[in-house]
C-alpha cells in the first residue's frame, strides 16, 4: 500500500542519495491486504463538529477556500494522530496509487527524464505502443494532443505522467524533436506490463541473483519465472535483493516464502483489535527449500520485504546481509469513500513466526518518526555501524538472537555506499545533471556501446574510460561548476556512471548486473556465505 513518504522540513542536513531516490520514485508502498472495501457510515440527524466547521468556512470565511485541499489536510492531520501509515487518498490520486500494486499500467511504454525545461525519452519499453510507433531514446517530447506543451513549461514529473497516461485504446498524438526535426506520432494507449523483478541472472556458476522491486500483484508469479531458469543453470545458492523494496501485497510475499521454506511452518500472522488473528503457513513443496539464501536489505526495505526476511531469518533459512530495515509492522486495508477517494487504514499488525512485530516506535509523532529514518540513512552513508538491539530478544531454532520493535537487524552488517553521503553527488542526482550527462553520452556513443554483447564485457571495457573526467568537462561546457577534486578522484562515481550507462542499453537488468560486478560489499557477503 501507498504510505506517506518520509519528508523533512530541514534543509541543512546532507541528503543521502538513496533517501532522495525513495522520495523521487515513490517507494515505500507498505503492506497491503488485497482487495478494496466499500464502507457505509451511520447516519445522524446532526452534523459532527468537523462538518459544521467545514460548512462555516465555506460560507463565511473571508477568502476563497479550496474545500478539497482543506479536507485532505484535515484528514492527513487526523490520521497522523493514529500512526504514520494510515493515509487518505484524494480521488485525483487514487488511480495512480492503485497502479503501484498492479503489474501493468495504461500508457505508451516510455520512461522520461527532465533536464532543465526539456523532457527526454530515456527508455522505450520493448513491445509497447511507443516502441511499435517508432519513438526512440533521446527524443524530446514537445506537445501532447497539440494542446499540452511539455518542453519549456517546467512541469513537474507527476503532471507529465498524467498527460501521457490514460485509458487503454485511447489515441494520443505526440510531437517530438529528433535531430532538430519535428516528428509527429499517433499512438494508441495500451496496457503496458512492467515486471516487479528488476533483474535475475547467475552471479557465478552456482549463485543466482533476483532483485525484487516491489510486491505487486503477480510478483510471486514473476519470481517463479525468474527462479526456474536459474535452477536449470545449476543454481545452488540464491541472493534475493530487497534493497529499496518498500513492500506491497502480503499474499505475494507469503507465496515466495512458501517456495523457500520446507514443511508446514508459520510464515507470518496478522492481528488487530478488530481483526482476529490470521495465520499464514507454508503449504506446498517449494522449488528451492534446501539451498543457501542471502537476503540483501537496507533502510528502505519495508513491510512485505520485512515479512519475507523475518520469516526466513526466524527459521534460520536465510542470512540477512546489509543494514537494519525500515521497521514497518503495520497492515493496511483500503476502503472506498463516497467522494471517489479512499482511506488506507491500519487495521492490524503483523508478526514474524517467533512473534516479532518489527514496527519502529512512532509514539513521539510523525516528525520524529521521519527524522529517525533520515538519521539512520545519513549514519549508514557515513559508514557508521548500527549496533542497535531494539525491543525484545528472541531465539531462533538454531539459537541465533533476533529482535523485534525496530526493523530486521541483519546477521551481517555492511556499510552503505559512501558516495551517497556526499552533498555534491546528491546535488548532481537531484538536479538531474548526472542523468543528463549519461543520456547525452549514450546517444553519442551508441555505435561503440552496441559492440558489447554482455554487461560483463561492457563493464570491463568501460572501466578504462574516465567517465568522471568527461562528466566534469560536460558540466563546464554547460556553464556549470566542475566537479570538486574529491569527486574527480572518487572511483565510486565512476562505477555509478558505468552502471547508468549499462541501464541505457540493457535497462534495469543491465544496471544491477553492472553495479553488482563493482559492489565490493556483495563480493564480501558472497565469500562469507
Q: Please give the model's pTM, rounded to 2 decimal places.
A: 0.89
pLDDT score for 57: 76
For residue 392 the three cell numbers come to 525484545
- Does residue 17 fall inside a structural domain? no
DSSP assignment of 80-118 equals HTT-SS-EEE-HHHHHHHHHTTSSEEEE--EEEEEETTE
Q: Which of 282, 260, 276, 110 is nearest to 185 (CA)?
A: 110
End position of a domain, from candidates 170, 193, 216: 193
* Residue corresponding to grid cell 559508514: 383
* Residue corresponding to grid cell 568537462: 473
Q: Per-block average pLDDT, block size 10, for the chain (529 residues)?
A: 32 36 41 60 51 75 76 82 89 84 88 87 93 94 89 78 87 93 95 93 96 95 98 97 94 97 96 94 94 95 96 98 94 88 92 96 88 82 73 94 93 84 82 89 90 93 85 88 86 92 94 92 77
Q: Please tell me what DSSP assigns to residue 209.
A: E
Based on the domain organization, do 404 and 280 belong to the same domain? yes
**Is 274 buried (19+), middle (13-18) or exposed (0-12) by CB count in 10 A?**
exposed
Q: Do the Cβ atoms of 385 and 124 come closer than 8 Å?
A: no
End position of a domain, from candidates 193, 228, 254: 193
Q: Find the helix packing angle between 67-80 and 49-60, rounded to 10°.
A: 150
Reduced to 3 states (helix: H, G, I; strand: E, B; else coil), residue 245 is coil
Q: What is the dihedral sign for C-alpha 362, 367, 373, 376?
A: negative
List CB contacts of 336: < 8 A, sequence separation 6 or more: 36, 37, 38, 39, 342
Cα–Cα distance for residue pair 526/186, rounded to 1 Å: 49
HSE of 66, CA atoms in CB hemisphere, 13 A: 5
Q: Which of 173, 163, 170 is nearest to 133 (CA)?
A: 173
Q: Which of 251, 256, 229, 228 is nearest to 241 (CA)?
A: 256
End position of a domain, from candidates 137, 161, 193: 193
DSSP assignment of 33-60 equals EEEEEE--PPP-SS--HHHHHHHHHHHH
Cα–Cα distance for residue pair 229/210, rounded to 1 Å: 11
Based on the domain organization, do 379 and 254 belong to the same domain? yes
Q: What's the N-to-C CA distance of the chain in angstroms?
A: 33
For residue 262 the three cell numbers come to 520446507
Q: Which of 380, 274, 256 is nearest to 311 (CA)?
A: 256
Reduced to 3 states (helix: H, G, I; strand: E, B; else coil), residue 24 is helix
For residue 200 the three cell numbers come to 535475475
Based on the domain organization, do 260 and 391 belong to the same domain? yes
Based on the domain organization, do 372 and 475 belong to the same domain? no
- The CATH number that applies at residue 143 is 2.30.42.10
Residues in the chain: 529
> How far is the CA of 432 from the CAs of 192, 304, 365, 406, 418, in angstroms?
26, 30, 33, 34, 20
Based on the domain organization, do 169 and 228 belong to the same domain? no
Based on the domain organization, do 124 and 166 belong to the same domain? yes
Buried b vs exposed e over 35-69: b needs ≥16 C-beta within 10 Å?
eeeeeeeeeeeeeeeeeeebeeeeeeeeeeeeeee
Given the DSSP bridges, would you call strands 393-395 and 401-403 parallel, antiparallel or unpaired? antiparallel
Q: Please tell me what DSSP assigns to residue 383.
A: T
Based on the domain organization, do 160 and 236 belong to the same domain? no
Based on the domain organization, do 165 and 291 belong to the same domain? no
pLDDT score for 240: 98
HSE of 331, CA atoms in CB hemisphere, 13 A: 24
In 3-state terms the chain splits into helix, strand, coil percentages (rounded to 5) of 35, 25, 40
- The CATH number that applies at residue 231 is 3.90.226.10
Domain total in the chain: 3
Based on the domain organization, do 278 and 163 belong to the same domain? no
For residue 256 the three cell numbers come to 515466495
**Is 307 buried (19+), middle (13-18) or exposed (0-12) by CB count in 10 A?**
buried
Cα–Cα distance for residue pair 485/498, rounded to 1 Å: 20
Q: Do the Cβ atoms of 132 and 190 come closer than 8 Å?
A: no
325 φψ region: left (φ > 0), alpha (ψ -120 to 50), beta (else): beta
- Does residue 398 fall inside a structural domain? yes
Q: Do the Cβ atoms of 273 and 296 come closer than 8 Å?
A: no
Q: Long-range contacts: 447-451, Cβ < 8 Å, 24+?
A: 449/501, 449/504, 449/505, 450/505
- Does residue 14 fall inside a structural domain? no
pLDDT score for 511: 96
Q: Please tell me what DSSP assigns to residue 340.
A: S
Based on the domain organization, do 334 and 439 belong to the same domain? no
- Does residue 508 fall inside a structural domain? yes
Range of the domain at 156: 104-193
- Does residue 28 fall inside a structural domain? no
Reduced to 3 states (helix: H, G, I; strand: E, B; else coil), residue 394 is strand
- Does residue 450 fall inside a structural domain? yes
Cα–Cα distance for residue pair 59/62, rounded to 1 Å: 9
pLDDT score for 257: 98
Cα–Cα distance for residue pair 449/446, rounded to 1 Å: 5
Based on the domain organization, do 307 and 378 belong to the same domain? yes
How far is residue 398 CA from its own chain's centroid?
A: 33
Based on the domain organization, do 135 and 157 belong to the same domain? yes
Cα–Cα distance for residue pair 242/347, rounded to 1 Å: 25
For residue 212 the three cell numbers come to 525484487
- Does residue 218 fall inside a structural domain? yes
Amino acid at each position: 500500500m501507498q504510505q506517506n513518504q518520509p519528508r523533512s522540513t530541514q534543509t541543512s542536513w546532507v541528503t543521502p542519495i538513496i533517501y532522495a531516490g525513495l522520495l523521487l520514485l515513490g517507494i515505500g508502498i507498505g503492506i497491503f491486504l488485497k482487495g478494496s472495501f466499500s464502507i457505509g457510515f451511520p447516519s445522524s440527524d446532526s452534523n459532527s463538529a468537523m462538518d459544521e466547521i467545514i460548512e462555516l468556512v465555506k460560507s463565511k470565511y473571508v477568502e476563497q477556500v479550496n474545500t478539497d485541499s482543506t479536507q485532505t489536510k484535515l484528514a492527513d492531520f487526523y490520521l497522523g494522530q493514529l500512526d504514520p501509515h494510515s493515509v487518505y487518498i484524494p480521488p485525483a490520486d487514487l488511480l495512480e496509487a492503485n497502479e503501484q500494486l498492479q503489474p501493468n499500467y495504461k500508457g505508451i511504454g516510455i520512461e522520461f527524464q527532465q533536464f532543465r525545461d526539456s523532457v527526454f525519452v530515456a527508455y522505450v519499453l520493448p513491445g509497447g505502443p511507443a516502441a511499435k510507433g517508432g519513438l526512440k531514446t533521446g527524443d524530446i517530447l514537445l506537445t501532447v494532443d497539440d494542446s499540452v506543451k511539455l518542453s519549456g513549461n517546467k512541469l513537474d514529473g507527476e503532471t507529465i505522467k498524467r498527460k501521457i497516461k490514460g485509458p487503454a485504446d485511447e489515441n494520443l498524438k505526440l510531437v517530438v524533436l529528433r535531430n532538430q526535426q519535428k516528428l509527429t506520432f499517433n499512438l494508441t494507449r495500451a496496457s503496458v506490463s512492467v515486471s516487479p523483478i528488476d533483474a535475475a541472472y547467475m552471479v557465478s556458476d552456482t549463485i543466482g541473483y533476483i532483485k525484487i522491486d516491489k510486491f505487486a500483484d503477480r510478483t510471486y508469479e514473476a519470481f517463479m519465472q525468474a527462479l526456474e531458469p536459474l535452477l536449470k543453470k545449476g543454481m545452488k545458492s540464491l541472493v534475493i535483493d530487497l534493497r529499496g523494496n518498500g513492500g506491497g501485497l502480503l499474499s505475494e510475499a507469503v507465496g515466495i516464502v512458501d517456495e523457500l521454506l520446507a514443511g508446514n511452518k508459520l510464515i507470518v500472522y496478522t492481528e488487530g483489535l478488530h481483526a482476529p488473528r490470521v495465520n499464514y503457513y507454508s503449504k506446498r513443496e517449494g522449488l528451492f527449500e534446501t539451498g543457501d539464501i542471502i537476503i540483501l536489505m537496507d533502510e528502505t526495505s519495508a513491510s512485505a520485504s520485512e515479512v519475507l526476511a523475518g520469516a526466513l531469518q526466524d527459521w534460520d533459512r536465510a542470512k540477512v546481509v546489509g543494514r537494519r530495515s525500515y521497521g514497518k509492522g503495520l497492515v493496511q486495508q483500503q476502503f472506498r469513500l463516497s467522494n471517489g477517494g479512499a482511506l488506507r487504514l491500519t487495521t492490524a499488525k503483523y508478526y514474524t513466526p517467533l512473534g516479532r512485530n518489527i514496527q519502529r516506535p512512532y509514539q513521539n509523532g510523525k516528525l520524529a518518526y521521519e527524522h529517525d529514518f533520515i538519521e539512520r540513512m545519513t549514519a549508514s552513508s557515513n559508514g557508521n555501524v548500527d549496533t542497535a538491539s531494539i525491543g525484545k530478544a528472541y531465539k531462533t531454532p538454531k539459537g541465533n538472537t533476533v529482535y523485534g520493535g525496530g526493523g530486521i537487524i541483519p546477521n551481517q552488517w555492511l556499510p552503505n555506499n559512501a558516495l551517497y553521503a556526499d552533498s555534491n553527488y546528491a546535488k548532481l542526482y537531484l538536479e538531474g545533471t548526472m542523468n543528463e550527462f549519461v543520456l547525452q553520452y549514450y546517444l553519442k556513443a551508441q555505435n561503440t556501446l552496441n559492440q558489447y554483447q554482455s554487461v560483463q564485457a561492457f563493464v570491463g571495457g568501460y572501466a578504462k574510460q574516465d567517465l568522471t573526467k568527461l562528466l566534469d568537462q560536460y558540466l563546464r561546457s554547460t556553464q556549470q561548476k566542475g566537479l570538486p577534486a574529491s569527486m574527480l578522484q572518487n572511483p565510486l562515481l565512476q562505477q555509478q556512471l558505468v552502471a547508468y550507462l549499462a541501464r541505457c542499453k540493457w535497462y534495469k537488468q543491465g544496471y544491477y548486473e553492472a553495479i553488482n560486478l563493482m559492489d565490493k560489499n556483495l563480493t564480501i557477503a558472497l565469500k562469507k556465505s
